[in-house]
Amino acid sequence: MAQPIIHDLQQLKDPAKAKVLRRYFKTGKGEYGEGDVFWGLTVPQVRSIAKKYKDLPLADVEKLLHSKVHEFRLTAVIILTYKKLTKNIVDLYLRNTSYINNWDLVDLSSHEILGKFLLDKPHTVLFKLARSANMWERRIAIISTFAFLRNNDTSDTMKLADLLLHDTEDLLHKAVGWALREVGKQDRKLLVDYLSTRYHTMLRTTLRYAIEKFSTEKRQQYLKGTI
């Protein structure tokens, strides 16, 4: 692993902040981030280092991604977002999804890497990920579609939302809700039509995020089931 980048990360270690981050990212026994190791760096600090080392060879980026230290993995995925997208980068990303194993790692990278790469290609891999037993792969699937939404393409976001609508994980409830909210920003009628046949059975968290941009009155009607 490239020693200069490790040195730069180490200079910014903050034990007090690391303690806060361990709680925030649920690293306790039985929690979704169980055992994750934090050094206490902020995202802007990590971005600054990632930009400095954006030309790091992919082999070294992959080694960073295999680290037990959360900020190493975060640096790795952010470096990938700074590189010109190629199939090699996407292949690296997909073969290392087991290390992209917290929501910040997914949310800062999946749409920038996988989503952008798939803009002009079939989206089959996202449906495979959405059916994965790994919840981070499922989150990667739905968050990747934010790249499509930026290009006014809502179709696969809606299809993936349907696949994940009753997921057992709270982190998926939120992600699906966010995706639906973004659909509604582009096409309110499309979201309203979608909700009309589903909102009674949707998970509460998903529904709350999906209708976040509606008026207070409309939100209350959906939440009370009176639409």
The number of folded domains in the chain is 2
Banded model confidence at residue 1, pLDDT cuts 50, 70, 90: low
Q: Over 80: is that where the pLDDT of 191 sits?
A: yes
What is the extent of the structural domain holding 22? 1-83
Chain-centroid distance, C-alpha 87: 20
Sequence-separated (6 or more) residues with CB below 8 Å from residue 81: 108, 109, 112, 113
DSSP string, 137-188: HHHHHHHHTHHHHTTT--HHHHHHHHHHTT-S-HHHHHHHHHHHHHHHHH-H
pLDDT at 2: 73
pTM strictly above 0.75: yes
pLDDT at 139: 98
Q: Are 101 and 187 in a shared domain?
A: yes
23-74 tens-digit pLDDT: 999 999 999 999 999 999 999 999 999 999 999 999 999 999 999 999 999 9
Q: Are 136 and 204 in a shared domain?
A: yes
Q: Are 161 and 104 in a shared domain?
A: yes
